[in-house]
């Protein structure tokens, strides 16, 4: 009985019991004060945890938060939790998960949402459990056994426990809450212990990953002696308990931006390390506007994503900055900008992300690079390699800046499509052909070439026609020789840039029309770096307008070239208008004079 079944049951219950009053904590009286969260800790069975318990159990967030006060089932249908749920609209492309395996030169965008260009984890042979181990430390939880799980996975879920919805990720504002510790515990497969460890209320030791399949967390000492030291254990600090046996959480209704940033940081590679101070901040953040001021939600936790055509028009750029808006946000006059710009470009085109340059920049992301986690690779070249800004047309046909990831993966050719192979399958091929290559020190791609790809494909082809996608090309063997060809699946995955937002003075066009209307304007003619494990493919680049469908580049070039005559056009036009006005006035004056004379019966 998996979480989806439970979720469905919870849904049905919610529907049936609509008349039931909301839970205590979900029915605000309207106070703007922060309610105190002095509450008992509850274990997965719902029993209260006391500081003096002989065999302490980790507290369960769903029991502690959801027992009496909050409808966790309703929360669990929110944006941060619903990717795996059936019938949920995918919405606009967003940040994918990136499965990186350096040994096999793999970098593949994953998502449970139907975002074109990403793959569902099962498509690469990745179970939900494996996904939870890989990426769960950066999620808000919501993973557990499913009906379709393998026997092995089912056994392991019992060992690790569920990675249940973790309210504390966003709502625990205590300085003791440590998201890096949460990720650390998830990596050790201490799923049921992770929230307790991260909360700072308890010390968690051991690793469920080391435990045998028959391990029972309620009878932890039943494992062999050599594993005793690795048994997951939780130890609460009595100092954290109040005389009532309850604990005081520093829970905030609205998550602090720094909590969002733990996962949603996007930072330019050039502004990491010692050069961090050179980076910029979103203008809203700089003005003290937190993420949740715009990305609002109710109990359902359906966070407003804030894009045009999304769920809430009032909380888009246009919504907040409309004339006479309720927020008091400045309304831009956009003086002198022809209105055609607003029908063909998004607000973000001029105001978000870095200004376009002659070649795209590289950035790192909290979710994909583990920023803030223990022992994170801080090298600039660490995989995955992500690029921005790339200007492309969105669903509405408007030009918008995007982030980009180049897929690199091995796959089987079936019915004209490439079905990605799990890196473990490729590793077996590498072992078979003794083709393993030493990893690079900086965490970047392997030092490999076409010959290596050819050799690996030769081994993979033994089990069926195979291909390697990288650098925007599909590589396959024809008559034993490697050939690279264009393929839709080799296209890079793009997702729109929303932040950081730049104010008018730093926007594209602030220096003049020629920010875009010059013959080498980066927005149309800049280069998009091509990323691939193959050095030869990294030497080439794509021109930006390759992503800007239906763009008349010839027109843009000619328009840009004509800009040098713009001053002349203005001078001649205004001069001509002045002369025509003079002619008009001269004869109008004469006509008035004649009219006046006519009233006296005289003709002039």
Partner 1 sequence: MTYSSAVTTVFVLTLAIVAADVVLRLMFGHGRKAGYRPSGLFRWLRVAVNVAGLAALAAAAITGLVPALGKNGEMTGAALITHVTMAPPFAIVAVIVALFWAHRNRFTGGDWNASYHAAPLRKFFFWLAVAFAVPTLVSILAAMFPLADTEGQANLIRIHRYCGLFLAGSGLLFAYFALMAWWEGSKD
Which of residues 150 and 562 has its CB atom nearest to partner 1 in the complex?
562
Q: How far apart are CB 365 and partner 1 at their closest, in Å?
A: 34
Q: Are strands 481-485 and 361-365 parallel, antiparallel or unpaired?
A: unpaired
Helix axes 179-187, 128-135, angle to 10 degrees: 140
The structure tokens 């090309």 sit at: 473
Environment class of 270 (CB within 10 Å of its CB; exposed 0-12, middle 13-18, buried 19+): middle
Contact call for residue 563 and partner 1 (CB under 8 A) = no
SS3 state of residue 303: coil
Q: Are 22 and 29 in contact (CB under 8 A)?
A: no
Q: How far apart are CB 36 and partner 1 at their closest, in Å?
A: 49
Secondary structure of 2-44 in HEC code, one letter for each residue: CHHHHHHHHHHHHHHCCCCCCCHHHCCCCCCCCCCEEECCECC
Stretch that binds partner 1, among 46-54, 444-452, 533-541, 562-570 (CB under 8 A): 562-570
Contact call for residue 592 and partner 1 (CB under 8 A) = no
Which of residues 203 and 584 has its CB atom nearest to partner 1 in the complex?
584
Stretch that binds partner 1, among 53-61, 101-109, 187-195, 573-581 (CB under 8 A): 573-581
Q: How far apart are CB 504 and partner 1 at their closest, in Å?
A: 11
Among positions 307-336, residues that touch partner 1 (CB under 8 A) are 333-336
Contact call for residue 396 and partner 1 (CB under 8 A) = no
Contact call for residue 416 and partner 1 (CB under 8 A) = no
Task: Out of 16, 441, 480, 555, name the contact with partner 1 by CB under 8 A.
Answer: 555
Q: Are 381 and 107 in contact (CB under 8 A)?
A: no
Task: Out of 1, 203, 218, 581, name the contact with partner 1 by CB under 8 A.
Answer: 581
Contact characters 513-552, partner 1, x per CB under 8 A: ---------------------------------------x
Q: How far apart are CB 573 and partner 1 at their closest, in Å?
A: 5
- Interatomic CA distance for residues 407 and 107, integer angstroms: 6
Contact call for residue 601 and partner 1 (CB under 8 A) = no
Size of the chain, expressed as the number of residues it contains = 604
Task: Out of 340, 434, 438, 451, name the contact with partner 1 by CB under 8 A.
Answer: 340
H or E stretch covering 583: helix 566-599
Contact call for residue 600 and partner 1 (CB under 8 A) = no
Q: How far apart are CB 356 and partner 1 at their closest, in Å?
A: 22
Task: Out of 569, 589, 592, 597, name the contact with partner 1 by CB under 8 A.
Answer: 569
Q: How far apart are CB 554 and partner 1 at their closest, in Å?
A: 9
| Of 204, 208, 202, 205, nearest in space to 223 by CA | 208
CB atoms inside a 10 Å sphere around CB 381: 14
Q: Which two tokens stand for residue 577?
A: 């208008």
Contact call for residue 562 and partner 1 (CB under 8 A) = yes
Q: Which two tokens stand for residue 224?
A: 């062999």
- Interatomic CA distance for residues 63 and 249, integer angstroms: 15
Q: Which two tokens stand for residue 132?
A: 């939870």
Chain residues that interact with partner 1, rule: CB under 8 A: 333-340, 342, 552, 555, 558-559, 562, 566, 568-570, 572-577, 579-581, 583-584, 586-587, 590-591, 603
């Amino acid at each position: 009985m998996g979480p989806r079944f439970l979720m469905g049951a919870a849904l049905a219950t919610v529907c049936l019991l609509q008349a039931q009053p909301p839970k205590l904590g979900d029915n605000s009286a309207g106070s703007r004060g922060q309610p105190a969260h002095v509450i008992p800790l509850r274990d997965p069975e719902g029993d209260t945890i006391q500081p003096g318990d002989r065999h302490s159990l980790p507290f369960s967030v769903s029991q502690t938060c959801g027992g009496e006060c909050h409808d966790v089932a309703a929360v669990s249908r929110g944006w941060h939790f619903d990717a795996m749920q059936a019938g949920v609209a995918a919405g606009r492309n967003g940040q994918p998960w990136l499965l990186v395996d350096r040994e096999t030169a793999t970098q593949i965008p994953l998502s449970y949402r139907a975002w074109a260009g990403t793959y569902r984890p099962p498509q690469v042979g990745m179970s939900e459990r494996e996904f939870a181990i890989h990426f769960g430390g950066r999620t808000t939880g919501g993973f557990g056994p499913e009906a379709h799980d393998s026997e092995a996975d089912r056994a392991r879920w019992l060992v690790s426990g569920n990675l249940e919805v973790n309210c504390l990720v966003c709502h625990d504002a205590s300085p003791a809450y440590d998201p890096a510790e949460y990720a650390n515990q998830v990596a050790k497969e201490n799923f049921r212990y992770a929230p307790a460890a991260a909360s700072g209320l308890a010390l968690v030791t051991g690793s469920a990953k080391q435990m045998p399949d028959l391990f029972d967390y309620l009878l932890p000492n039943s494992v062999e002696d050599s594993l005793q030291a690795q048994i997951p254990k939780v130890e609460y600090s009595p100092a954290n308990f109040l005389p009532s046996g309850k604990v005081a959480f520093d829970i905030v209704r609205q998550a602090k931006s720094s909590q969002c940033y733990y996962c949603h940081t996007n930072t330019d590679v050039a502004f990491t390390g010692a050069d961090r101070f050179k980076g910029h901040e979103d203008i809203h953040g700089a003005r003290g506007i937190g993420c949740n001021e715009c990305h609002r939600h109710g109990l359902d936790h359906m966070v407003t994503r804030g894009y045009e055509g999304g769920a809430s028009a009032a909380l888009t750029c246009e919504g907040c900055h409309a004339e006479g808006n309720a927020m008091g946000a400045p309304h831009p006059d956009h003086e002198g900008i022809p209105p055609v710009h607003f029908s063909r470009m998004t607000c973000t085109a001029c105001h978000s992300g870095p200004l376009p340059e002659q070649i795209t920049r590289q950035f790192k992301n909290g979710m994909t690079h583990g920023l803030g986690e223990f022992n994170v690779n801080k090298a600039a070249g660490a995989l995955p390699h992500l690029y921005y800004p790339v200007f492309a047309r969105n669903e509405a046909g408007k030009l918008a800046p995007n982030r980009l990831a180049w897929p690199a993966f091995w796959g089987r050719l079936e019915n004209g499509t490439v079905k990605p192979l799990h890196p473990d399958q490729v590793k077996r091929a590498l072992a078979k052909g003794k083709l393993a290559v030493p990893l690079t020190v900086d965490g970047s791609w392997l030092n490999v070439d076409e010959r290596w790809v050819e050799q690996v494909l030769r081994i993979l082809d033994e089990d069926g026609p195979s291909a390697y996608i990288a650098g925007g090309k599909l590589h396959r063997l024809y008559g034993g020789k490697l050939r690279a060809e264009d393929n839709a699946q080799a296209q890079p995955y793009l997702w729109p840039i929303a932040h950081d937002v730049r104010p008018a003075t730093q926007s594209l066009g602030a220096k003049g029309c020629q920010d875009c209307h010059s013959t080498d304007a980066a927005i149309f003619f800049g280069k998009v770096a091509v990323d691939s494990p193959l050095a030869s493919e990294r030497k080439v680049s794509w021109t930006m307008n390759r992503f800007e469908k239906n763009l008349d580049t010839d027109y843009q070039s000619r328009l840009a070239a004509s800009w040098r005559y713009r001053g002349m056009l203005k001078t001649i036009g205004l001069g001509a208008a002045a002369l025509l006005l003079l002619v008009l006035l001269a004869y109008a004056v004469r006509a008035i004079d004649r009219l006046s004379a006519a009233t006296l019966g005289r003709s002039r």
